[in-house]
A and B are shown apart, each in its own frame.
Chain A
Amino acid sequence: MRVVVERVAKTFHDRRGRDVVALGQVGFAVESREFVALLGPSGCGKSTLLSIIAGLLPASAGRVYFEGESLPGRAPLTATVFQEFALFPWRTVRANVQLGLEELGITGLERVERTRRYLDMTGLDGFESKYPHQLSGGMRQRVGIARALAVEPAVLLMDEPFSALDAQTRTLMMDELLGIWERTRQTILYVTHNIQEAVFMADRVIVLSRRPGEVLDVVPIKLPRPRREGQQGDPVFVQTADRIWGLIKSQAQAALLDDEVVTERED
């Protein structure tokens, strides 16, 4: 299914009763089987927008809808991979991955097989019985990804999934995520503030302005797939990254100097 974000705006009220406009008016679409990155300076409302798409936050105006061939079975519209992993510490790796399937009421052999499939796909083979505290950050996020993939959602939402990882692990995880995407063609909306990450992985990059967030431009990435690490030196890669930095630089500077610091989720 494709996701359509239609003139979505979001205004928060802070404790002193002032209005803080997090999202101006944002509109775009993510096509079925597409990998789209949502890029913007810090505090531009990226995560807010993701929460609205996931139905975890009401929009102040506009709407989000999914359209296309209806999903088979009980598949949900979205599943989210969080920056902070958000695993259940008292559940094993297997039980964490299985969680969404339990919620969907999938039982028996189907649940066992699907859990197995996504554990294997994310390289968690052999770690099924471990608990989250026994794993490294990279392995924990694999569990987060496997859990989200297992419910086979219309769109996979990823909220800066690798920004809590060290640089080397992040590079490896990006490669693996691309591998998984090549195999499954799972529709992905990937939030990041890292230009290289966005250009390396996405089909299109939606560039947001600083708060109030608005779409500055939508940049198609014309690098062939499957993507390889070596492409980061490709002239197309460098030019595209430069172009996006050009769009975002003044915005990021202005955001840095912004005197009022308002957390994105303040309500």
Chain B
Amino acid sequence: MAVERLVVVDRTAFLHRPDYRVVRVLALLGLVVVWELVTRTGWVSSLFLPAPSGVLAEGLDMARSGQLFVHLMTSLERLALGFGVGAVAGVSVGVAVGFFALADAVAQPIIAATFPIPKIALLPLLIL
């Protein structure tokens, strides 16, 4: 039999994934640049897709006039109210289901049936 010498090579080298950090940042910046170009060139009307520069300028205007904060407060109020109502109702039902077998029997099938529906899909229904 032949005498030979075999050097061990890393057999997992193909699994090595370099960490392209610069590319990650560039990808995001690239998206913004393409977005800007698409509207600047008039390829997509700014009525449907305003350019990022336009969005920023409008935001600054609204902040200066104080309008932005009026709307922001309205949204935050709704958010707080919604969270409050939802949390109280949810925790109450949860505690009831945990403590009482009867409540569990009533609620569990309903929860199991409706849970997989993405919440965002219910949004249009709630707005109506």
> Interface residues, chain A, CB within 8 Å of chain B?
1, 52-59, 63-70, 72, 77
| A55/B1 in contact, CB under 8 A | no
Separation in Å of the B5 CB from the closest CB of chain A?
Answer: 4
Across the interface, A77 reaches (CB within 8 A) one of B2, B8, B12, namely B8
> Interface residues, chain B, CB within 8 Å of chain A?
1-13
| B10/A65 in contact, CB under 8 A | no
Q: A58 — nearest CB in chain B belongs to which residue? A: B10
| A52/B8 in contact, CB under 8 A | yes
Q: A71 — nearest CB in chain B belongs to which residue? A: B1
How far is A118 from B4 in the complex, measured between Cα atoms in Å? 28
Contacts of B1 in A (CB 8 A): 69-70, 72
Across the interface, A65 reaches (CB within 8 A) one of B2, B5, B12, B13, namely B5
How far is A67 from B3 in the complex, measured between Cα atoms in Å? 7
| B2/A55 in contact, CB under 8 A | no
Q: B4 — nearest CB in chain A belongs to which residue? A: A70
Q: B5 — nearest CB in chain A belongs to which residue? A: A67
Contacts of A67 in B (CB 8 A): 3-6
| B4/A56 in contact, CB under 8 A | no
Across the interface, A55 reaches (CB within 8 A) one of B3, B4, B9, namely B9
How far is A63 from B7 in the complex, measured between Cα atoms in Å? 7
Q: B15 — nearest CB in chain A belongs to which residue? A: A56
Contacts of A68 in B (CB 8 A): 3-4
How far is A54 from B11 in the complex, measured between Cα atoms in Å? 8
| A64/B7 in contact, CB under 8 A | yes
| A65/B11 in contact, CB under 8 A | no
| B8/A53 in contact, CB under 8 A | yes
